[in-house]
Amino acid sequence: MNLQLKAPKLTVVEKKAIQITGSKSESNRLLILQQQYPNLKIKNLSNSDDTVHLQHALNSGTDVLDIGHAGTAMRFLTAYLANQEGREVTLTGSARMKERPIGILVDALRYLGAQIDYLEKEGYPPLRIKGKKLQGGEVTMDAGVSSQYLSALLLIGAQMEHGLQLRLAGKLTSRPYLEMTTSLLKEVGIGTRFEENHIHIEPKKTILNVKITVESDWSSAGYWYSWVALQSPGYAMQLSSYKKTSLQGDSKLVDIYEKLGVATSFENDHILLEKRQDFQHPQKLEFDLTQQPDQAQTIFATCIGLGIDLKLTGLHTLRIKETDRIEAMAVEGARFRESEIKTSPDTIEIHFLSKSHFKDKVSIDTYKDHRMALAFAPLCMKTTLIIRDADVVTKSYGDYWEDMKAVKVNITEI
């Protein structure tokens, strides 16, 4: 599905209120825990494709599980199924999923006694997993890898006979996602300690009745921060349901977008975003997104819209996402206005040439990556925008196009 987006040049609109579903990251962690601890009840689950795929896989009795593009589901299920005694399963996914490495997690699980075989390329899905009761104990993993590998182990740690002691070697990437995992474990009632480079998970076979309400997704809020940043001063929008003390690392958006002209205020269970009247347009900004890599495309697109030179660092995990996101940003970002874009293995920079104007019509590819469509869509405020394969947004934010229509964006299928 290809969509054409065009936003009206409004200076004043009524304040819009948008309800965003639960965090995909929280939901997927809680689903793995719920499968191990049925006394756990969950409210406000994400309706993202990733969460739907994970729910389907967890409830399936078949011996072949295809999780499509859902990277989180691949990592979490690999660990979960390895600890399910007596069950033998083939875990596979899309063509792109078969290009995304899983070897670091498989090596750690094998060290703990898991029986996992590669069915095609060594180090990559699909996997054949013969579940067995893992004894647990101590294992060391590279702290610089995707936090999903580490969280996958932590989520099954308490079900192992001797619990889990996870030692992290090197510089830690995406610490907020690990802290989210350990915080949820504590909330469920599992003894957990996170001290420097060591995480200890105590064994626990059962829990008391627990009910957890998932906070709405901060990653999805990012697209609306970008939208508000591109509006006239005084424009306001309300998003529900958010907490000032969030487990999600992407709540750092509050501070990041303050520098891009968006003020945030917390009111009961929602946030109010407002384009600041006193915003002083900076010439250049630089952000280290080591802890918030999923916001790279969103911030990049915002700065294209505002014409602010930008340098983003800490992006090394983006090379192995749904696509090579650094390369995708460079290619698609160059389509909007005259600029110079430089990349390295973990950075991207954009510099706008003098008197750089937006092109009248821009068409972008999404590379089967939901965040390419979601992040670049607000640029319809600046030009007529065509997004190819726009339905990729269902991976994390299936209501996005309807919500865009609610803020007066004209959307037509072409």
Q: Which candidate, 264, 270, 343, 268, places its Cα nearest to that of 300?
A: 343
Whether pLDDT at 12 is above 70? no
Which amino acid is present at 197? Answer: N
Calculate the CA dihedral of residues 141, 145, 150, 152 and round it to 10 degrees: -130
Structural contact between residues 133 and 156, judged by C-beta atoms closer than 8 angstroms: no
Bridge partners of 263?
A: 274
Whether pLDDT at 414 is above 80? yes
Whether pLDDT at 176 is above 90? no
Structural contact between residues 158 and 203, judged by C-beta atoms closer than 8 angstroms: yes
Q: Which candidate, 294, 35, 324, places its Cα nearest to that of 174?
A: 294
> End-to-end alpha-carbon separation of the chain, Å?
8
Under DSSP, the state recorded for 215 is P
Query: What was the pLDDT predicted at 69?
Result: 85
Q: What stretch of H or E contains 224?
A: helix 218-229
Whether pLDDT at 173 is above 80? no
Whether pLDDT at 11 is above 60? no
Higher local confidence (pLDDT), 71 or 105: 105
Whether pLDDT at 205 is above 60? yes
Question: Tokens representing 155?
Answer: 């989520």
Read off the pLDDT of residues 134-144 as tens digits, 9 standing for 90 and up.
999 999 999 98
What is the b/e burial string over 203-235, where b = at least 16 CB atoms within 10 angstroms of the residue's CB? ebeebeebebebbbbbbbbbbbbbbbbbbeeeb
Query: What was the pLDDT predicted at 76?
Result: 98
Which amino acid is present at 151? Answer: S
In this prediction, residues 113-138 reach a mean pLDDT of: 97
Read off the pLDDT of residues 42-88 as tens digits, 9 standing for 90 and up.
999 999 888 998 999 999 989 999 998 888 999 999 999 999 999 99
Domain 3-21+215-413: give its CATH code: 3.65.10.10
Query: What was the pLDDT predicted at 10?
Result: 65
Q: Indicate the range of 45-54, 115-124, 281-290, 330-339 predicted with least confidence.
A: 45-54
Q: What mean pLDDT value characterizes the chain?
A: 94
Q: Which candidate, 119, 177, 182, places its Cα nearest to that of 155?
A: 182
CATH 3.65.10.10 residue ranges for the chain = 3-21+215-413, 24-213
In this prediction, residues 28-38 reach a mean pLDDT of: 98
Per-residue 3-state assignment (H helix, E strand, C coil) for 58-119: HHCCCCEEECCCCHHHHHHHHHHHHCCCCCEEEEECCCCHHHCCCHHHHHHHHHCCCEEEEC
Question: For the chain, what percent of residues have pLDDT higher than 70?
Answer: 99
| CA 382/CA 360 separation, integer angstroms | 9
Q: Indicate the range of 1-10, 157-166, 357-366 predicted with least confidence.
A: 1-10
In this prediction, residues 108-116 reach a mean pLDDT of: 97
Query: What was the pLDDT predicted at 144?
Result: 86
Sheet holding 127-130, edge to edge: 64-66, 88-92, 127-130, 115-118
Whether pLDDT at 97 is above 60? yes
- Confidence band for 124, pLDDT divided at 50, 70 and 90: very high
Q: What is the pTM of this model?
A: 0.85
In this prediction, residues 93-110 reach a mean pLDDT of: 95
Level-2 CATH architecture, domain 24-213: Alpha-beta prism (3.65)
Query: What was the pLDDT predicted at 13?
Result: 55
Sheet holding 309-313, edge to edge: 284-288, 309-313, 347-352, 339-344
- Confidence band for 35, pLDDT divided at 50, 70 and 90: very high
What is the set of active-site residues?
294
Q: Which candidate, 308, 269, 314, 306, places its Cα nearest to that of 288?
A: 314
- Confidence band for 15, pLDDT divided at 50, 70 and 90: confident
| CA 109/CA 297 separation, integer angstroms | 33
